[in-house]
Structure 1
Amino acid sequence: MENFKEKKSQAVSVRMTPMERMLIESRAEETGMSMSSYMVQCSLGKELKLLNQEQKSAYK
């Protein structure tokens, strides 16, 4: 499933505090992922690698 690109057609609504959202957004940014992708990967138990500053700049 990792290399299989499937169109995403399902949505999930999650309630969280503003602080939780800020922390999740920050961690997603550190991995170079969108918040949605980050949450999916974490939920599936994937090991995520942090980007260094050079990689973050290149990603942006």
Structure 2
Amino acid sequence: MNNSNRKSALFCPSCGYKSSLGGDWKMSSASDQYQLRCPNCGSVVVTQSQYCTEYSEIQN
């Protein structure tokens, strides 16, 4: 399998929405973490601790 052609994608387990990691997911931050929410239904898809200082670091 050639991994150079692989694309990152997230799937919402609640409604099945699919988009690339850099797509239209809604990002919010709390005191110690970031959350990516589904733009379709609002469910939290990713929770990441705030050791990343920029959203672009989450994408890499």
TM-score range, shorter chain: under 0.3
Q: Which has more strand, going by share of residues?
A: 2
Q: TM-score, normalised by structure 1?
A: 0.23
Q: Which has more helix, going by share of residues?
A: 1
Q: TM-score, normalised by structure 2?
A: 0.23
